[in-house]
Amino acid sequence: MVQVTSETGRLRKVLLHEPGLEVDHMVPATMDELLFDDVLFGDRAREEHALFRRVLQLFGVEPVEAADLLAETLDLPEGRHWILDLLPPELSTPLRARMDQATGTDLAAMLTAGVRGGAGGKGIEVEELFEVPPLPNWCFQRDPQIILGNGVIFGAMSGNARHREALLARAMFRFHPDLAPVPVLHDPLEQSLGHHLFGAEPRATLEGGDVCVLSPQVIAVGQSERTNRPAVAQLARSLARREGMPRWLVLVELPRRRAYMHLDTVMTPVDRGAALVYPPVILSEGPEAARVYEVDLHAEDLQPVPRGPLLDTLARHGVDLEPILCGGRDPLLQQREQWTDGANALALAPGVIVLYERNVGTTEELARHGYTVISATDLVLGREEIDAEDPGRVCIVIPSHELSRARGGPHCLTHPLVRDPL
């Protein structure tokens, strides 16, 4: 089913989504609404993503395509009715009729790639171009749901442009036969389900990039641009004194900056005892430093208690992480490479990670910590090999000219479904 108790245990199965027509349907006028910093060249983004997927497969990871899960869910009468009942009432009658009659695959495409407005969707603004706007962020499967242990926590997205992603995740986990048995640990929107959510503004916002599963006993949750304090409080109440769940929730209050949209943009574990970190937020005591709090989920009082630096706080609970500096030692490179996801690595196993190749300062710092840096292209073409059973420390770098412009790295692009325990 699902099982995740760390960020670095050997990855067996992962949820992802190849950037589809939804990224081809972006125009500059829609970028702010759709939370992108640029429009992408879709064909090149798909080439880069396909190479990433192939790297996963070569290492024995099973990729699960979210679009396939969604289409299969929408082929089920109960899944289709659940989603269609949540469609906005202002949809045109002809479009609603098309959706009612569409196959699961076609309906999934409408809900993700979007539907152009009447008369070809002429105009400049989003509402002029589309009757149903596209979801270009859907390639970032980290955010709509969080696997913790053998259960799932659903996201409540901060921006209106991503609310539909949260609904699609719920539909898949509620109705798809492979996911329906997974226990729901927490749903921030449960009070609103059954109402129109496409334009709703939920008070509590929680996104998966802000949740880091560090051990069976410890999770870290970022309070960020995308995840707010009410959501963290709700999550703590749902997990409190729950059997098989972590004992400690470490709250990391990030500066409210676009660059630090999620916790995983400033820290990701890369080995049993190491993490990529962005020093100004994680290691410094300066104005950009994160504030750290601790919640004992076994206590009656779930109020966050202020603590010292993040890595010191984690070490007290048995998560001892050596910092590896995003961007290396140069403060200028640190800032540039944090922006291009240098602190956002995906661990395939302890010490085996995937990172964007453009983060040269970060890969040089990884090499100083004993990592062998391998090109994904060389790996796929057989010019390099990795022993999956005894790989050592390896960083596989993937091309990212287009993917990195979407503002999310390999960690953002994936959501682990099954990892081996450490």
pLDDT in tens, 302-359: 999 999 999 999 999 999 999 999 999 999 999 999 999 999 999 999 999 999 999 9
pLDDT tens sequence across 152-211 = 999 999 888 899 999 999 999 999 999 999 999 999 987 444 444 444 444 799 999 999
Selection from 201, 167, 204 nearest residue 86 by Cα: 167
- Give the pLDDT score at 37: 79
Show the beta-strand stretches assigned E in 272-370. 274-277, 291-296, 305-307, 322-325, 346-349, 352-356
- Would you state the pLDDT for residue 261? 93
With vertex at residue 8, the alpha carbon angle to CA 5 and CA 11, rounded to the nearest 5 degrees, is: 85
| Cα gap 350→270, rounded to integer Å | 7
Report which of 218, 217, 212 is spatially closest to residue 270, judged by C-alpha positions: 212
The percentage of residues in the chain with a pLDDT greater than 90, rounded to a whole number, is: 82
DSSP state letter for 234: H
CA distance 71 to 79: 10
Question: What is the mean pLDDT of the segment spanning 2-21?
Answer: 98
Query: Mind listing the domains of the chain with CATH numbers?
Result: 11-419 (3.75.10.10)
Our measurement of the distance from residue 100's CA atom to the centroid of its chain's CA atoms, rounded to an integer in Å, reads 31
Nearest to 24 by CA among 129, 143, 145: 129
Q: What torsion, rounded to 10 degrees, do the Cα atoms 164, 42, 18, 71 define?
A: 50
Taking the model in full, what pTM does it have?
0.94
3-state secondary structure of 188: coil
Indicate the helix (H) or strand (E) that contains 145: strand 145-148
Q: What is the rounded CA–CA span in Å between residue 5 and residue 127?
A: 42
Cα(104)–Cα(112) distance, integer angstroms: 12
Q: Hey, is 270 helix, strand or coil?
A: strand
Decide the pairing of beta strands 372-375 and 394-398: parallel
Q: What are the tens digits of pLDDT across the range 256-307?
A: 888 899 999 999 999 999 999 999 999 988 899 999 999 999 999 999 999 9
Q: Which of 200, 209, 212, 361 is nearest to 275 (CA)?
A: 212
pLDDT range class, residue 27, cuts 50, 70, 90: confident
Packing angle of the helix pair 104-113, 93-101 (nearest 10 deg)? 140
pLDDT value, residue 416: 98
Q: Which residues are catalytic?
A: 412
